[in-house]
Amino acid sequence: MEGTGLVLDLGCAEGLFAKLAIRKGWRVVGMDVDTTSLSVARRQAPGADFALGSGEALPFPDSFFDSVIMLDVLEHVPSERLTLQEVDRVLKPGGRLIISVPHKGTFAFIDAQNSRMFAVGRKVIKGRENGQHHKHYSLEELNGLLGGSYRLTHSRYGGYFLFPVLGYFLMFTDALRLWRVSSSFRRVEQVDFDRDRGEKSWHLMAEFTKA
């Protein structure tokens, strides 16, 4: 997406989207709750501004951003309602909201991040519990969470069976820093992800316009 507006990359992780958006001419503010990820993001996207904080209390004035991006973020937040209220507050009328989430597709039950293995591994490696369920959504549920003040302008589905299954393998290869093996898995994962199987798919991305 080309442009010169101001974008909030909420849950920016290591700054990959911020890096790409700056190349397209956007001004970017990235925000995340993880200090390690933000350190990487600042190195990867030096042209962006970054802030530490939660989506439930955004430190920005009303109607501040032209677009808000939430890529695989909503399923992790403690309160969807508070987060989306804050997003609505800082997004300009007519602004774009882009959300990607795990979808309630055929194989939604195959989710490595909801497995006991993931919970144990996270506790051993990062020293903290995985106490939150990795949620999946339908497009209708996303519309419902946003209320009647947003219009759906575009949606895309992706992934089916290989995408979630390979998540289990990546859970181990990433933890063991087997980067070449992980890279091979991700190439296969991407092939599956690039095929849109509609409502059977494992992943959903939707773009909304604020009324």
The proportion of the chain whose per-residue pLDDT surpasses 70, expressed as a percent, equals 91
Specify the pTM: 0.87
Domain architecture of the chain: domains with CATH? 1-102 (3.40.50.150)
With a cut of 70, say whether residue 40 has pLDDT above it.
yes
User: In whole angstroms, how far apart are CA 106 and each of 118, 123, 136, 158, 196?
Assistant: 21, 29, 11, 12, 13
pLDDT of residue 3: 60
pLDDT of residue 146: 94
Mean pLDDT (the chain, rounded): 90
With a cut of 90, say whether residue 175 has pLDDT above it.
no
pLDDT of residue 101: 97
Average pLDDT over residues 13-22: 94
Average pLDDT over residues 100-125: 77
With a cut of 70, say whether residue 51 has pLDDT above it.
yes
Number of H helices, E strands in the chain: 7, 7
CB of 85 closer than 8 Å to CB of 27:
no
Higher pLDDT, 112 or 121: 112
Q: Quick one: tokens of 1?
A: 């997406």
pLDDT of residue 174: 87
| Neighbouring C-alpha atoms within 13 Å toward the C-beta of 122 | 13
The proportion of the chain whose per-residue pLDDT surpasses 90, expressed as a percent, equals 81
CA dihedral 122, 190, 95, 5 (to 10 degrees): 100
pLDDT of residue 119: 54
Quick one: which of 114, 110, 202, 122 has its CA closest to 165?
110
With a cut of 70, say whether residue 178 has pLDDT above it.
yes
